[in-house]
Amino acid sequence: MEIRVVDNTRDISCDVLIINKFEGKQTSNPLVNRFAPETFTGKKGEIFVIHTQKEYPSTYILAIGLGKEQEVDNSVIRENIAKAVKKCIEMKAKTIAFDIETDYAFGECAIIGASIANYHFDKYKTKKEHRISELYISRVSSEIIETSKIIADSVKLARNLANEPAAFATPSKLAEIAQGLEGIKTVVYDESKIKELGMNAYLAVAKGSVEPPKFIHMKYTVDNPKKRIAIIGKGLCFDSGGLDIKPPASMLNMRDDMSGAACVLAVMKALVKLKPDVEVHGIIAACENMPSGSSYKPGDILTAKNGKTIEVDNTDAEGRLTLADALCYACELGVDEVVDIATLTGACMVALGTAASGIMGNNDEFVSDLVKIGASSGEKYWQLPMWQEYRDNMNSDVADMKNTGTRYGGASAAGMFLKEFVTDSVKWAHIDIAGTAFLEKPNKEFCKGATGAGVRTLLSYITR
């Protein structure tokens, strides 16, 4: 979708001109008064469409309600613009324009909302989905336009990767993509180097697959960075559950178990264009969790990179094993902060559904900062507790810990497990996107499928 800035979108010849109205407020926009009926009150999400009968440069006028003006925020703008754009797609429009009357800084939200709504993963379809080809906007600076496009493209990249079948998005393919990022220094470790580095927990998960593991370390840096950050994405390119195999229905979408890795790849690609004054390490321990004669087994005892031992209680609790070694590696880089993002637990999905991701960490101020930035970026997070009781449930008779606890409090237990592999001096946050990374049905601005969860939050945090 091409985005074009013009002086006045009302003068543009296009298929649909999108205008707005606030609930309970008279509007100075003559188009609302001329084309929308009195029954159009401006309630949030309310839509009215009318053919202009060639009395206006645009073929149609689409009026969207934004609700009460005092209640407008980033999410209201983005979600309702997305709803209007989806309606335009239904109408088979090719060119659209925005004439949004508000003092609110709507530019970035409108562009990102429109881009998200215009997305379809139809790579493997012979008949492609309809898309908007051109969007006209006014009263928005070129800087905002460029930043918004970069963020929107990053979300799209993450969605594409997580939507790809596992036969395409293999560990080797993720490594190839990482090595192709311009302006990013990338090192990829193979199985022998992973073993040499002592990442035996991660390596155990990878043993059952014919696809070789790839440990990916990307680095973006500048002279005299004000901060050093590591972002780690869970990179399970397919998760069958291993020998504790999942039921067939639970395996259908397990290509999305590398959504954290997709997020990190998308963020790293964007940093070169956004040029933040920080050093960022993007880390992915990529592999598959498959059942075979070489698979790791329940009862195995693994030694992680930091020397701690883990009794395998369930081979389907594999993501935390790969993240354990990745966290150890990240903490050895001399970074100030570490964020890991992972489709980690079904328990988080049960607790929060698809409305929010779980978040926890070893520094409440750091976690709260990410929660606030996420809310502004359009991604909700809910802080979950990290109490000793959750850790005690993972005590083992034969090792330092088990890789699972009881059936209760699973999301917090996973967080407490990961905490064992984080250096105390490093600020750390864990984001569980199990419920938000992939949608079974359309929700708000998103269609069914991958959402690119975490991209907007991490980019906003790193570049602020």
Q: Is 246 a catalytic residue?
A: yes
For residue 270, give the amino acid letter: A
Give Cβ neighbours of residue 377 (< 8 Å, ≥ 6 apart). 74, 456, 457, 459, 460
Residues comprising the chain, all counted: 464
Closest CA to 74 of 154, 136, 151: 151
Torsion, Cα 431 432 436 438, to 10 degrees, reads 120
Q: Is 234 a catalytic residue?
A: no
For 405, counting Cβ atoms within 10 Å of its Cβ (0-12 exposed, 13-18 middle, 19+ buried), the class is: buried
- Distance separating alpha carbons of residues 185 and 206, to the nearest angstrom: 25
Q: Which residues pair with 64 in a beta bridge?
A: 20, 47
Written as six digits, the tokens of 123 are: 């790579």
From 320, 427, 444, 456, the catalytic residue:
320
**Interior CA angle at 456 toward 453 and 461, to 5°?**
120
| Cβ atoms 48, 63 nearer than 8 A | yes
Give Cβ neighbours of residue 196 (< 8 Å, ≥ 6 apart). none
How many C-beta neighbours within 10 Å does residue 195 have? 14
| Cβ atoms 139, 58 nearer than 8 A | no
User: Which residues are catalytic, by number?
Assistant: 246, 320
